[in-house]
Amino acid sequence: MVYAFDAIRRRPARSALTALGIGLAVGLVVLLLALSAGIQTSATELASASGVDLIAASAGVNSTFGALPPVDHAHQLVTEIPAADHNVQTASPWLVSDLVFGNSSLLAAATSGSVPSGWSPSSAGSIGWIPSDNTGLEVPTVYNGTGFTDAGDPHYNNGSYTGPVTGQIELDQGLAGVLGVSVGDHVWAAAAPPSGPAELRAWYANATEFTVVGVTSPFWLIPSALLALLYLSELQAMVGGGTPSTDYASLVLIHLYDPTSPTTDQSTLDAAFVGLTVITLGDILSEVQHVVNLYRTFGELIGAIGLVVAALFTTTVLQMSVDDRSREIALLRAVGHSRASVGSLVVQEGLWLSALGLVVGLPVAFLGAEAINRFLLGLLAGLPSGFNFVSFNLGVVGTGVALVVAIGLLASIAPAARAMQLPVAEELRAP
């Protein structure tokens, strides 16, 4: 090993460039593996912590959740689903939509006819649900305010839609900040924005007024930087529902008493509700894994190209090293070293170069992964604390070490064979 390391030390520039090339190639592969492992691990942990064991959607919807046709009779499903399967603790219908929001300052400007440049209503994601029917499900934490005060969905009123309108709304911190409102303030919401500043007064006249009863944390299940939460029937009324014949939601989130055999409950509910498709958490995670695998395969192809280039470059460098030391190698042979021992010296040199590459590659992969992780966490608002897009587990690091050893061994084959076959007499007689 000392002889092999001395050969590297005597050619520092060439050795450093070789180690750098190996390190960058290995670092790229390790980075890609860490990203795929992080996304898979975090997605599994989040899904398990959400309390969502099954999701019911309209018939024909698959686990990719592309288009979401309406789930009819949404309020009735709160009791009908648990009645059909006694292992269901909670069936919570959620209507997911986009609304446009305005505050009192914009209303005052619109009323006075002097709207400052750049002022306009703000678009945000919205969830309509029955707040008291979310037992076992993870929901946004209310930081300020009392939150929704009425149990059930008062305006629904057993399907008549004649009950009192609460006019209550919760906003996440992002939307509350954009609107500049706090608990007790009023906001106005509509399904469509005004066409321009001249239409603002008419927009407010037709918008629905709400009182902010809570400011919540961001919500990772609906990863939006701006999110509002309303009673289901009140959001239905704003987006074209809210009648006995248009009682719809986007999804029904289901929490089980015993989640150990969700496929059994899936089969039971599929048979009981022909208009619904019931999807398990495993189905969703499999879809996530499928997407991750696609990106991972693409990344591995790029990484494989880098590894091949690094191996070829290392082979060339080792070949040059053998040529530079041909007389030394002949002398070793002349004093009694076997062909195998001479070849092992070349292999050791290749492993040393690869080890130096590992010293370069792992920090590069770690720093690059941390930078990407911070960028993605800042880009996607609403993710919970503890979520990471990267994971440096033993499998990822072990793969990096294995790749380095493989490069060192493969790159040493041809140069070692050449060193073993050098003609001793000719090399010693050479000038």
Q: What is the pLDDT of residues 190-226, one digit of tens each?
A: 999 998 888 899 999 999 999 999 999 887 666 666 8
| Cα gap 172→382, rounded to integer Å | 9
Are residues 34 and 141 both part of a single domain?
no
Q: How far is CA 45 from CA 65, 237, 295, in A?
A: 20, 36, 20
- Three-point CA angle 400, 375, 292, nearest 5°: 55
| Cα gap 431→259, rounded to integer Å | 81
Are residues 58 and 185 both part of a single domain?
yes
- Looking at residue 296, its pLDDT comes to 65
Residue 23 included in any domain: yes
- Looking at residue 254, its pLDDT comes to 93
- Looking at residue 238, its pLDDT comes to 92
Residue 273 included in any domain: no
Per-residue pLDDT, averaged over 12-34, amounts to 77
| Cα gap 35→258, rounded to integer Å | 32
Are residues 59 and 36 both part of a single domain?
no
Are residues 193 and 333 both part of a single domain?
no
Q: 430 pLDDT exceeds 70? A: no
| Cα gap 398→358, rounded to integer Å | 11
Which of the pair, 401 or 133, is modelled with greater confidence? Answer: 133
- Looking at residue 32, its pLDDT comes to 79
Among 23-37, 92-106, 193-207, 314-328, where is mean pLDDT lowest?
A: 314-328
- Looking at residue 50, its pLDDT comes to 78
Residue 393 included in any domain: yes
pLDDT-based confidence at residue 104 (cuts at 50, 70, 90): very high
Per-residue pLDDT, averaged over 360-368, amounts to 84
Residue 267 included in any domain: no
Are residues 205 and 307 both part of a single domain?
no
Among 51-55, 73-77, 345-349, where is mean pLDDT lowest?
A: 345-349
Per-residue pLDDT, averaged over 322-348, amounts to 73
pLDDT-based confidence at residue 123 (cuts at 50, 70, 90): very high
- Looking at residue 383, its pLDDT comes to 64
Q: 129 pLDDT exceeds 90? A: yes
- Split into its structural domains, the chain has a count of 2
Q: Dump pLDDT digits (tens) for 379-425.
A: 766 666 667 778 777 777 787 788 778 887 888 788 778 777 777 56
Question: Bridge-partner residues for 209, per DSSP?
Answer: 188
Are residues 71 and 12 both part of a single domain?
no
- Looking at residue 223, its pLDDT comes to 60
- Looking at residue 249, its pLDDT comes to 92
Per-residue pLDDT, averaged over 232-259, amounts to 88
Are residues 33 and 70 both part of a single domain?
no
Range of the domain at 297: 2-46+286-426
Using DSSP bridges, classify how beta strands 168-172 and 208-216 pair: parallel, antiparallel or unpaired. parallel
Residue 7 included in any domain: yes
| Cα gap 237→208, rounded to integer Å | 10
Q: 233 pLDDT exceeds 70? A: yes
* Mean of per-residue pLDDT scores for the chain: 82
Q: 145 pLDDT exceeds 90? A: yes
The total number of residues written for the chain in this structure:
431
**CB crowding 370-409: b at 16 or more within 10 Å, else e:** eebbeebeeeebbbbeebbbbbbeeebbebbeebbeebbe
Identify the DSSP state of 226: S
Q: How far is CA 197 from CA 184, 190, 204, in A?
A: 27, 16, 11
Q: Dump pLDDT digits (tens) for 250-307.
A: 999 999 999 889 899 999 999 999 889 898 877 766 666 666 666 667 666 777 777 7
Are residues 385 and 317 both part of a single domain?
yes
Give the HSE-up count for residue 155: Cα atoms under 13 Å, Cβ half-sphere.
20
Residue 56 and residue 391 in contact, taking contact as beta carbons nearer than 8 Å: no
Cβ count within 10 A of residue 302:
12
Among 16-20, 261-265, 322-326, where is mean pLDDT lowest?
A: 322-326
Flag whether the pTM goes above 0.75.
no
Residues of the chain by 3-state class (helix, strand, coil), percent to 5: 55, 15, 30
With the CA atoms of 335, 341, 345 and 351 taken in that order, what torsion angle do they form, in degrees rounded to the nearest 10?
-170
Are residues 126 and 232 both part of a single domain?
yes
Residue 153 included in any domain: yes
Q: 21 pLDDT exceeds 70? A: yes
Nearest to 85 by CA among 257, 324, 227, 297: 257
Q: 361 pLDDT exceeds 90? A: no
Q: Which two tokens stand for residue 32?
A: 């890609």
Are residues 239 and 371 both part of a single domain?
no
Amino acid type, 405: V
Are residues 93 and 235 both part of a single domain?
yes
Residue 274 included in any domain: no
Q: Which two tokens stand for residue 323?
A: 């040529």
Helix (H, G, I), strand (E, B) or coil at 255: strand
Helix (H, G, I), strand (E, B) or coil at 36: helix
Are residues 197 and 89 both part of a single domain?
yes
- Looking at residue 295, its pLDDT comes to 65
Residue 138 included in any domain: yes
| Helix axes of 2-9 and 12-49: crossing angle, nearest 10 degrees | 110
